[in-house]
Amino acid sequence: MRIEERLYTLRYKKDEQPHLAIIDPNRCLKCAEVNGVPQPCIAVCPANVYAWINQKIIVSYENCVECGACRIACPFDNIMWKYPRYGLGIALRYG
């Protein structure tokens, strides 16, 4: 089953303000040189939030399941990672 189909099962309220962002895109380029592709953030993410397209990291923050793995995995501390505001984001039934 594709990840997008799995994510459809989640109750989700989107925060218009992204809670994830790349601090410096050049560091991602450096990371691709050092670590190869896919980079650590892409490997650990359970929700395909990050994609490497045309030598650039694309962040789909609305896919995020709020686990925090990408922040820990990034060897360049290059991910601005916050929680969605006001109870937005995912809401689990089973957890």
Closest alpha carbon to 66 in 41, 84, 52: 84
Whether the Cβ atoms of residue 78 and residue 28 lie closer than 8 Å to each other: yes
- Report 16-35 residues binding another protein (CB under 8 A): 35
Least CB distance from residue 56 to another protein, whole Å?
19
- Report 34-93 residues binding another protein (CB under 8 A): 35-36, 38, 40, 42-47, 65-69, 71-73, 81-87, 89-93
Please name the amino acid found at residue 33.
Answer: E
9 binding another protein? (CB under 8 A): yes
Listing DSSP states for 34-80 in one string gives HH-SS-HHHHH-TT--EEEETTEEEE-GGG-----HHHHH-TT--EE
Nearer to another protein, 24 or 66 (CB): 66
Q: Which spans of this chain sit near another protein (rule: CB under 8 A)?
A: 1, 3, 5-7, 9-10, 35-36, 38, 40, 42-47, 65-69, 71-73, 81-87, 89-95
